[in-house]
Each structure stands twice: as C-alpha cells, then as structure tokens.
Amino acid sequence: MRRISVHASTDYDVLVEHGLLRQCGSLLAGAAVTRHFVIVTDDTVDELYSKDLLHALDMAGCKAECFVFPHGEASKCSGTLLKLYDFLCESGITRSDCLIALGGGVVGDLTGFAAATFLRGIRYIQIPTTLLAQIDSSVGGKTAINIPGGKNLVGAFKQPSLVICDPDTLKTLPGHILSDGIAEAIKYGMIRDPGLFALLDAHNSDNVLPQADEIIARCVTIKRDIVAKDEFDTGERMLLNFGHTLGHAIERHSEFAYTHGQAVAAGMCMLSARTAAPAVTARLIGCVNNYGLPTDYDAPMQELTALCGHDKKRMGGELSYVVCPAIGQGEIRKASFPDFCRMMEESL
C-alpha cells in the first residue's frame, strides 16, 4: 500500500491500493472514532460501489446509511446540500460521527462542505472514485458548492480525516471521464513536474490506465507539498489553479456542458497561447489532444473575461493568474483586472 501523509491543520493519510474499497472498514473506523457513518454518493457510483463499502463497514461493526443524489455538476448546489442536512438530522448524526464521500469531485466537494458546516463541523473521509478526485479533489480540503453567481463560490477549507484511494474503481470509468482527470494531471505536469508531463505525453486515452498508480502518487505528492506550505490559498497554492481562471468561466458559460476537466484543459491551452512561447503551447496542445480533451472554447473572449471577475484569486482590483513559461515551471503573476482582460482579449 502507498501512504502519502498530508500535514495541514488536520494531519491525515492518503492510502492508495488496489482492492482497498472492499477492505477498508477497520481503516475507516480507526480514522473516524465512531461506529456511525453516513455515506454520501451519486446514483451512478451508488449502483457500482455502495454495496462493497456497506459490506466493509458492516464487517468492522459499523452502521451506515446512504444519501444518494443525481450524478452531475448540477447537483453541487444548495438544493442538494439542504437535502443532505435534513438527511443527517433524520439519521441522528452527532458531532462525533463521520461522513464518507464516495464518488468523484462533485460528491467530495459537497460532502466536505456539509461536514464543514453541519453542527459547525464534523469529520469526513474521502473515497474518491474518479481519476480527477483521486489525484486532486479528495486532497487538500477545498470544499464548495456552486451558486448561480459562479463556480465554488460558497465553500470552506476542511481537511478530511483520511483518503482511501482504490485505483480498481477507475476500471468502470467511461473514457471521457478518465480524460477529465488527465486534464488535472497535465496541470500538475505543467506547473511542477516535467517527468509527469512526459509520461502523460507518451500515452493516450487508450493506454494510460495502467499508469494510474504512478500518476496518482506523483500528483498527490505535489499537492501535499503545496498544501503543507499554503493550506489557505494565499500564495503558492494558487499554482494549482493553472487553467482554472478561464476554466471556471468556460464551465459556467457553457452551462456545464463542458465538464471541469474539459474546461481546465481548454483554459490551460488558451492561457498558454497568450503567455508562453509557441513551442511550449504546442507541446501542451499535443498532450491535451492525446486524450480527446478540448484545446479551445468557442465564445467571444469578452464574455469569458466578464465571468472571471468572481475568481477567488481576485483581491479588489488585482487578479493573480498562473502561467507556465516552461513545462514544469508554474509561476504566479498579478495584474489589474482590466489589464488581465485586455491581455486575454487581444487577438493572437
């Protein structure tokens, strides 16, 4: 089993092993200090994996109920959150009990925010089942829901008590959802790890799955190191937002027809085209193309920059954004918001 220890306001481990989902009952009980859990999941993941998890908990002498909501980004909203709070009340969840997020980033972000706020804070554990969630969203404690004003605009920093990563769950992922995770992996390569970028560049959507363990370990280690230095996103952590300033705008502009991974892929390429040497952008676009991810988004740039105004890297009139002048070398830059808009809107 691989163990990557995260040191933040709460210390915890990310455990990576094939088949772990079926055997994780005692690990969950140990990390949670309770025998009462609520599993939060979406309808697709529920069909595939709730039974295994319930069995594992039962074997460890734990009781659990499942809260299941419709899959998709549209569910990461206040409506689902309020239903979850009601469910937690009905289940008699107390401050010593624990939530389990079983699913992708939507489940993880929503569950984490519920855990941060219900009874002013209870424990939660992440069991990520998409590549994106295993390499990124389950680690680091950013939790959030979307509101009509924008992506992730209501949230909290709340670290999980444990992350259980079973790469076997990736075998049931449709190809395009695996690619969403690869978009974030390319991000890690671009900001910090040329070796990871080369590995991703040497593969494609048809042959990358056997590389999942290596990709998970490299990405989680990068995120762990960044979060240890800047848990609350005031400096270095902003590197993890490469491609997201535009990406979040694209998600919203497309009314979530572009998934998060697709929007981040397009956002990285569109930003790189305006801030990096053509050779760097060409390599990025080549790698993104290997995985059938978009490299562009067809909308007037003014409409996208208008949506960037709510970005959480904006402080008053100034916006921080991330550029990669070379592969593996992410840098945070600052500009006035009008200057950022002008830079993006200038034709190439």
Ligand X SMILES: O=C(O)C(=O)C[C@@H](O)[C@H](O)[C@H](O)COP(=O)(O)O
Please report, as ranges, the residues that interact with ligand X according to CB under 6 A: 136, 140, 142, 144, 152, 184, 233, 237, 240-241, 244, 312
Token reading at 34: 């309770």
Strands of the 98-103 sheet, one edge to the other: 2-6, 12-16, 163-165, 123-128, 98-103, 36-42, 63-69
What does the buried/exposed string (b/e) look like for 117-128 if buried means 16 or more CB atoms within 10 Å of the residue's CB? bbeeebbbbbbb
- Round to whole Å and give the CA distance between 95 and 79: 23
Which residues within the stretch 104-133 sit at the binding site for ligand NAD (CB under 6 A)? 104-107, 109, 129-130, 132-133
Distance set, CA 94 to CA 69, 81, 277 (Å)? 22, 17, 55
Greatest CA span in the chain, whole angstroms? 62
243 is a contact residue toward ligand NAD (CB under 6 A): no
Q: At what angle do helices 244-253 and 260-275 cross, to 10 degrees?
A: 130
CB 27, min distance to ligand NAD, A: 19
Residue 237's binding partner out of ligand X, ligand NAD, none, with CB under 5 to 8 Å set by partner kind: ligand X
Q: Which residues contact 193 (CB under 8 A, 6 or more apart)?
A: 218, 222, 328
Count, residues near ligand NAD per rule CB under 6 A: 30
Of 102, 99, 216, 88, the C-alpha closest to 158 is: 99
Of 134, 132, 111, 122, the C-alpha closest to 21 is: 134
Q: Are 344 and 274 in contact (CB under 8 A)?
A: yes
Residue 173's binding partner out of ligand X, ligand NAD, none, with CB under 5 to 8 Å set by partner kind: ligand NAD
136 is a contact residue toward ligand NAD (CB under 6 A): yes
CB 214, min distance to ligand NAD, A: 19
20 is a contact residue toward ligand NAD (CB under 6 A): no
Q: Phi/psi at 5 (nearest 5 deg)?
A: -90, 130
| Of residues 225 and 233, the one with the C-beta less far from ligand X | 233
270 is a contact residue toward ligand NAD (CB under 6 A): no
- Round to whole Å and give the CA distance between 67 and 8: 28
- Provide the residue type at 140 as one letter: G
CB 154, min distance to ligand NAD, A: 13
Residue 312's binding partner out of ligand NAD, ligand X, none, with CB under 5 to 8 Å set by partner kind: ligand X
Question: Applying CB under 6 A, which part among 137-145, 292-300, 305-313, 321-329 lies near ligand NAD?
Answer: 137-145
CB 97, min distance to ligand NAD, A: 22
Exactly one of 140, 167, 247, 267 binds ligand NAD (CB under 6 A); that residue is 140
Question: Applying CB under 6 A, which part among 25-33, 41-49, 268-276, 313-321 lies near ligand NAD?
Answer: 41-49
Site residues (vs ligand NAD, CB under 6 A): 42, 44-45, 48, 71-73, 76, 103-107, 109, 129-130, 132-133, 136-137, 140, 142, 152, 169, 172-173, 177, 180, 260-261
